[in-house]
Structure 1
Amino acid sequence: MTSRAAVDVRPLTEPEFADWNRAMNIGFLREPTSSEEILEARRAQFTPGRSVGAFDGGRCIATFRSFAQELTVVGGATVPADAVTNVTVAPTHRRRGLLTRMMERDLAAAKERGDVVATLIAAEYPIYGRYGFGPATSTTEWTIDVPRTGLDPRRSGPEDGGRIDLVDAEDVRRLGPGLHERLRRAQPGAVSRDELWWRITTGAVRFHSTFHEPYYAVYRSAGGEVEGMAAYTADDHWGDAKQPLNTARVKWLIGVTPAAERALWHYLCSVDWVVKVKSGWRAPDDLLPHFLPDPRAAAVTTQADWLWVRILDVERALGARTYGAAGSLVLEVTDGGGLSGGRYRLQASADGAGSCARTTERADLTLDVAELAVLWLGDESAVRLAALGRVREERAGAARQADALLRTSRRPWCPDIF
């Protein structure tokens, strides 16, 4: 077995990219070797210094990449984030501390850069809590049984004066970014998308050899404004009695008004031959079931944690968001990574504005930085975490006060995977 010291963890150089990409493919159980076309497409994500590899005998055996991102917080402000992705360790080199070395290097650099948080989508739940990450949003997928919805099968379009149009990939690249900006500025937990994201999702840049072009539907209001967009695919399945039993799968759906969301879901349930609609990853309190005359037609088929957050700057993180009530709370934050620990006073005013600063006052609540991340976007209850032993009250009633300050009327949601 190669010793820990003999494995070199360092930033990737461009000539090593193919070897790094092969290691990443193996880690994700994909076909190891990528075509030159796919390699060239993936190089578009290469940022010097932010793609890291672990090398044993000159061969890459672990991968790690981060990139710049913006995360929307409660109230609509955004904070700079260090988005972590492409994390793998070869099965031959597990349990040697390689992920820890790569993660510590990246988080220290993010802290030095001035990023407020780090983010990731966790493939496995138990891995990232030990680095200070906590699950800050969750996601739900529904499967709609179209015949049970109660919708009129003769329906021909929205009843609000709007319209649905089918468009092509070029239209999506033109209309999508502005629409998404409107969504993410209003949705806590949403993250930024760059131009490359839109090129990848529409197939202009292809990371996989099996890209299947989806259908794209756009909703325009009665005034002609684009307020919603969806990408979906459909299979080709027929029953023994020559009955169509097709399933439509939503890749993503953006709606900046309830009318747009309603129109797009009704449209998807009206496509000929489609008897089931898979909603894709949605907010856990999405309005989808209640857009249907019979909400039971939409059954929850997946519910899980989604966006994980690691707070790097407690003062800026708590100062960026707004609050549901006036009040003051002193938090004792523990941080095994040594990046954000300390005692902080959170002060919220009646208009929702908040500020946070270090203090020597007695703490009201003690919690790990990972639990602070769970509470930060308003999705979890401090009272629940206290019952689970994950938050400790130093003053009676402090957890209930934290809920009054931090919890939100609508749950945070991250529409993206990265």
Structure 2
Amino acid sequence: MTSRPHIDVRPITEAEFTDWLRAVNTGFLREPTPSKTELEARRTQFAPGRYLGAFDGDRCVATFRSFAQELTAVGGTPVPADAITGVTVTATHRRRGLLTRMMAQDLAAAKERGDVVATLIAAEYPIYGRYGFGPATWMTEWTVDVPRSGLDPRRAAPDDGGRIDLLDAEDVRKLGPDLHERLRRTQPGAVSRGEWWWHVNTGAVRIGSSWKEPFYAVYRSADGEVEGMASYEADDNWQDKQPHNTAVVNWLIATRPAAERALWHYLCSIDWVTKVKSGWRGPDDLLPDFLPDPRAARVTEQADWLWVRILDVVRALEARTYDREASLVLEVTDAAGLADGRYLLEASAQGASCTPTTRSADLTLDVVELAGVWLGGESVLRLAALGRVREERAGAAREADALLRASGRPWCPDMF
């Protein structure tokens, strides 16, 4: 047998960016050679040290990228996050530990930088648990059968004095960032959006050949405040001289339920549209109950969404809020050694402190499970029933469940 050549895993140089992007495209089964437009657009995001590559000779055969992000904890405090994307291993070089080496380098650097968590959207479920990531938010997509919904399309205007207007892309780039900032300050699981996001999602920056200009709608309250916004597209489907078009929502954000209701009612009132696909919503989204007949909204997709990896247990638990007073000792296991230890959490509605301790543990859980309960969407009792949390003191799982569960499900509106 011939021995495998040494594969170098390291941060890429700017001169290697084209080869790195070609490897990304290959891994995601896209046309390998990037266009000049895509290359120039993506090169503007290059940050030394945050792009890793695995090189077999001169060829890049695995890729990994991270960037600075903020993630909103329960209660609205943003924590610094290491957002991971662009993860690929070329099919010819699988099962050689390349992702493990890249992940170890990146997480160690994130810990050194002071990031509290790492985040990613997992394309393949089985991969990331071994690196300490756990699913922390989930998404649901509904398809609304508009004729069945019970809405009167002749009464589409908001009944609260607000109004719906259509915008162009330039207006979205002006008004959208402030609206999103107001939303993410109140929504656990939401992540920051930089200028790049708004440029890519309004066509100012083109990174692929499939861009289709969407429609944009904005909701303004009676006093003129922008409180909601949506981007959507529509197909062109006629059968027997009757329209059967589907409106597909790219994204919809709002700071008040009234704004959400108005935007969904507007989308369900558009001439020729008989179906509305909601896009990525939270599992407890209000959409179905905004309709006179909630059964008109059928779940067509449901899956894990944002995965979180706790890097700093103390800062993570102190960043979020709690609505009751309790003291809890958590034994956190972490095979990578980045977050393992025994921690005393003392929480109340006035704040929380978390410190390493030698006191006997109340609960033992892996860092994978900690992600979901930290963001408030997972039940400690459920995890205990599954054998993924071990109760060291009788009654501790129920106490922890009451302390750590949030009033609403966490939701991440974004893919990255």
Q: TM bucket by the smaller chain? A: over 0.9
Partner of 2:268: 269
- The question of 1:77 aligning with 2:70 is answered no
Q: Which residue of 2 aligns with 1:366?
A: 364
**How far apart are residue 148 of structure 1 and its match?**
0.5
Letter matched to residue 303 of structure 2: A
- Is the 1:142–1:300 Cα contact (8 Å) retained in structure 2? yes
1:123 match: 123
What's the CA shift string for 1:350-380, capped at 9, x where partnerless? x251110000000000010111112101101
Amino acid paired to 2:33: T
User: Within 5 A, what are the aligned runs for 1:162-177?
Assistant: 162-177=162-177
Which residue matches 1:285?
284
Partner of 2:219: 219
Counterpart amino acid of 2:408? Answer: R
1:325–1:352 CA contact under 8 A, matched in 2: no
RMSD: 1.0
Residues 3-12 or 101-110, more deviating? 3-12
Q: Under a length normalisation based on structure 1, what TM-score does the superposition of the two structures give?
A: 0.98
Structure 2 unaligned blocks of 5 or more: none
Cα deviations across residues 140-164 of structure 1 (Å, max 9, x unaligned)? 0000000000000212411111100
Partner AA of 1:338 in structure 2: G
Q: 1:4 to 1:369 in 2, by over 3 A?
A: farther
Q: TM-score, structure 2 length as denominator?
A: 0.99
The letter of the residue matching 2:327 is S
Per-residue deviation, residues 140-192 of structure 1 (Å, max 9, x unmatched)? 00000000000002124111111000010000000000000000000000000
**Matches of 2:351 and 2:187 in 1, distance apart?**
18
Q: Does the 8 A contact of 1:343 with 1:359 survive in 2?
A: yes
Q: Which whole-Å CA distance do the structure 2 matches of 1:96 and 1:81 have between them? A: 28
* 1:252 equivalent in structure 2: 251
Q: Which amino acid aligns with 2:233?
A: T
**Is 1:195 equivalent to 2:179 in the alignment?**
no
Q: Where does residue 53 of structure 1 map in the other structure? A: 53
Superposed, 1:12-161 pairs within 5 Å as: 12-161=12-161
Residue 66 of structure 1: SS of its match in structure 2? strand
Q: Which residue of 1 aligns with 2:229?
A: 229
Residues 138 and 4 of structure 1: CA distance in aligned 2, closer, same or farther (over 3 Å):
farther
Number of residues paired by the alignment?
416
Partners of 1:323 and 1:403 lie apart in 2 by 11
Q: Deviations over 1:238-296 (max 9, x none)?
A: 11x11000000000001100010000000000000000000000011000000000000
Q: What SS does the corresponding residue of 1:383 show, helix, strand or coil?
A: helix
**What are the Cα deviations for residues 304-346 of structure 1, in whole angstroms up to 9, with x where unaligned?**
1000000000000000000121101000000001111000001
- The letter for the 2-side match of 1:160 is D
| Structure 1 Cα separation of the partners of residues 359 and 120 of structure 2 | 33
The one-letter code matched in structure 2 to 1:411 is: R
What is the aligned-residue identity percentage? 76
Q: Counterpart of 2:407 in 1: which secondary structure? A: coil
8 Å contact from structure 1 (residues 11, 48) kept in 2: yes
Q: Is residue 314 of structure 1 aligned with residue 313 of structure 2? A: yes
Q: Which residue of 2 aligns with 1:405?
A: 403
SS in 2 for 1:45: coil
Is the contact made by 2:156 and 2:265 (CA closer than 8 Å) also made in structure 1?
no
Deviation at 1:4, TM superposition (A): 6.3
Offset from partner CA, 1:124-145 (integer Å, 9 cap, x none): 1110000000001101000000
CA–CA separation in structure 2 for the residues paired with 1:210 and 1:117: 33
Post-superposition offset of 1:3: 5.5
* Equivalent position to 2:412, from 406, 411, 414: 414
Letter in 2 for 1:396: A
Question: Amino acid of the residue matched to residue 312 of structure 2?
Answer: D
The one-letter amino acid paired with 2:265 is H
SS of residue paired to 2:115:
coil
C-alpha separation in 1, matches of 2:269 and 2:229: 16
Return the offset for 1:47: 0.8
Deviations 1:197-234 (A, max 9, x none): 10010010111011001000000001111000000000
CA distance in 1: counterparts of 2:5 and 2:222, whole angstroms: 65
Q: Is the Cα contact below 8 Å between 2:148 and 2:296 reproduced in 1?
A: yes
* Equivalent-residue separation in structure 1 for 2:3 and 2:256 (angstroms): 56
Contact 1:324 1:407 in 2 (8 A): no
Determine the structure 1 residue equivalent to 2:322. Answer: 323
Q: Which amino acid aligns with 1:336?
A: A
Amino acid at match of 1:23: A
Contact 1:324 1:404 in 2 (8 A): no
Q: CA–CA distance in 2 between the matches of 1:89 and 1:131? A: 16
Give the drift of 1:44: 1.8
